[in-house]
Amino acid sequence: MQILLVNMPWASIDLPSLALGILKRSVDERVPDSHAEVMHANIDYVDWVTGRTGFTLRDYEYYSLASYFLGCGDWVFSSALYGDPGWRVEEFTEATRARLSEDRLEQARMLHTVAEEFVLDVARRVVDLAPDVVGFTSTFQQNTAALAAARHVKRLAPGIVTVLGGANCDGKQGEALHRNFTFVDHVVRGEAEESFPALLAAIGRKEEPAGVPGICWRDGLSRSVVNPMNTRPLPPAAILPPDYTGYFERLASSRARSWVEPKLVVEGARGCWWGEKHHCTFCGLNGSSMQFRSKNPGVFFEEIVELARRHRVLDMYVVDNILDMNYLKSLLPRLKESGYDLRLQYEIKSNMRLNQLRTLAEAGVVYVQPGIENLNSKVLALMDKGVTGCQNVRMLRDAATAGLTVAWNYLHGFPGEEAGDYDDAVAQMPALEHLNPPASQSARIAVERFSPYFDNPGLGFSELRPAQQYRFIFDLPEAELFDLAYIFDVPPRGIADEVVDRLNAAVATWQRAYAGSRLTHCDFGDRIVLVSRRRAFDWTVLELTGPEETALFRLLDQPHTVTAAARKLRAAAGAGADRAPAGPGDPGEDRVRQTLRHWRSLGLVYEDGGQYVHVAPASVNQELLRLGYLKENDAREAADLAARLESAPA
């Protein structure tokens, strides 16, 4: 049996498809007399579209991920799905005009008009290869491109069995896709390492896949039949390593080879150990499978090393939703000792300590995504994040010390939040401009399927509607859109737009100032020397010399309240542990409070929820550790030269 697995736009072009890499291996190893190949139609699209228009990497990234909550990428291929180059152009234009530039709007309409030409080309190539089964993966903005290609393959060659799978097919979404698009023979819901080979075996025997968990299939009357999903998640030993045969060769022959440096995608764990205990209220990323499972660290190490050896690529994106903390003592030390100059991206929890971050950096981790999301403890509690605002600032500070680049987003719109929860954070952002800023403007949350906000109306969102984009993409009734959708429109909650505007203005200033901002400290034992270059503060060098203030600064390596800091200082000074705790009128506590107020005015500490933490990374040549340092330095020197020339006498 010949199986063709297709990765349609808008899948990222700098990454091979992990899902298809795993399925290729599962077919080749577990389905007798069968072989799978992968068609990289996302890369094919780059060559196709750049031959017709001035299309860039930035354009591709916009339709791939940046426009996800607008639906631009899926709308582009909706014309091919419905065979109409003018499909809902007016509705799309009306819905997005306020958020798209005229150039972007015009480009989207042009791509929409010609999309079917590309999809037909893909379908013809699929038919020419004559597979028995063609499988399409669908994640993020791949739904319409995958569906359109399946439609045309089925029209050209009805005997080819069409299968759809991926994150967009989880749970009710997969049922809705199968129910409404009859040219899709089967939909695979949930983890597919076992169910996809079982489906292929049933197809090969010409049997109905009635016993295969999670499969949607059609009976003799072409009615959609939905098998129950597997309630037992795959054990980690059953999660196969991917086979990326063909991806790097295809990218090397594409015009996209000059756009990106390809990375490997690796997977050590599934699910989320934090989410099992405290599911973040807005998060739907784990879909129907939250249970945390991780591979044996020795097995995962061998997978990483083998992929690096085989493909001669050291940049790796780890897709785990959260780091297995046991890897800090098992996998990561082995990576450090391996001799490979790996550059890894990893998702972690934001309350990790400096020594743990250093372990990551020594093992080759360069990017971390710690899920910071906000700098206010009350709002973080509304999210059920399990961290405080000061802990998130500590993460930014310690990551700078460890040489890690932090990717994070600011979120707002949570039921129960208030303007004051943001105004104080905004007021303190100038003190943080030397630390990694949010990647983009603050975003009002959308309700995601599988999240607590979706499942529990009592948390504040009781009026859910499929997001507006689904109505200009699909020709389906509201009830079907509800089952198909992943994101939902809700009446806005939380802060008003004027507060959002202040927040976003501060974030934009932070982003602009980051490249030229610095704050570090050196601890010499008898004194602590701080060096600052930040636009909002007029000092450059500051020495802390008194025993109490140096001790206080060291205490604020971790978040402390005034009372806790004063008590520890008193104990360290030998006042005795049996002495009554400090009260509101205690002179030691008053001195600490006054010092912290002064330090806040100097931008040395961050205050939130009654706690303080200092914001100065240890001096370890941060400039050289920053990715893009040389570019930043050249820009800064050019600006300095221009300023000197301007002020020079004629």
**For the residues of 122-135, what is the DSSP string, one character each?**
HHHHHHHH--SEEE
Q: What is the pLDDT of residue 620?
A: 87
Q: What HEC string does 40-102 produce?
A: CHHHHHHHHHHCCCCCCHHHHHHHHHHCCCCCHHHHHHHHHHHCCCCCCHHHHHHHHHHHCCH
| Closest alpha carbon to 43 in 64, 27, 25 | 64
Q: Which residues are 505's β-sheet partners?
A: none
Q: What is the pLDDT of residue 584?
A: 54
pLDDT tens digits along 481-505 = 999 999 999 999 999 999 999 999 9
Q: Considering only the top CATH level, what class is 517-619?
A: mainly alpha
Residue 587's pLDDT band, with cuts at 50, 70 and 90, is confident
Residue 577's pLDDT band, with cuts at 50, 70 and 90, is very low
Q: What is the pLDDT of residue 231?
A: 85
Compute the distance between CA of residue 527 and CA of residue 591 in angstroms, rounded to an integer: 19
Token reading at 14: 């700098």
Start-to-end CA distance of the chain, whole Å, equals 81
Residue 590's pLDDT band, with cuts at 50, 70 and 90, is very high
Is the pLDDT assigned to residue 603 strictly greater than 90?
Answer: yes
| Closest alpha carbon to 534 in 547, 515, 552 | 515
Q: What is the mean pLDDT of the chain?
A: 94
Q: What is the pLDDT of residue 650?
A: 47
C-beta atoms surrounding 644 within 10 Å: 9
Instruction: State the residue for tokens 């008009």.
Output: 113
For 176, phi then psi, to 5°, come to -65, -40
Beta strands in 109-205, from DSSP E residues, in sequence order:
133-137, 161-165, 186-188
**CB-side neighbour CA atoms (13 Å) of 631:** 4
| Closest alpha carbon to 365 in 349, 377, 347 | 347
Is the pLDDT assigned to residue 461 strictly greater than 80?
Answer: yes
Q: Report the share of the chain in percent with pLDDT over 90.
A: 91
Q: Report the share of the chain in percent with pLDDT over 70.
A: 94
Residue 538 sits at the vertex; the CA angle it makes with 534 and 542, to the nearest 5 degrees, is: 90
pLDDT tens digits along 462-474 = 999 999 999 999 9
Question: Mean pLDDT across the stretch 283-293?
Answer: 90
pLDDT tens digits along 404-450 = 999 999 999 999 999 999 999 999 999 999 999 999 999 999 999 99
Q: What is the largest CA-CA distance in the chain?
A: 90
pLDDT tens digits along 226-263 = 999 998 899 999 999 999 999 999 999 999 999 999 99
Q: What is the bridge-based pairing of β-strands 365-369 and 405-406?
A: parallel
- Give the architecture (CATH level 2) of 238-515: Alpha-Beta Horseshoe (3.80)
pTM: 0.92
pLDDT tens digits along 1-33 = 999 999 999 999 999 999 999 999 999 999 999
Is the pLDDT assigned to residue 602 strictly greater than 50?
Answer: yes
Q: Which residues are 482's β-sheet partners?
A: none
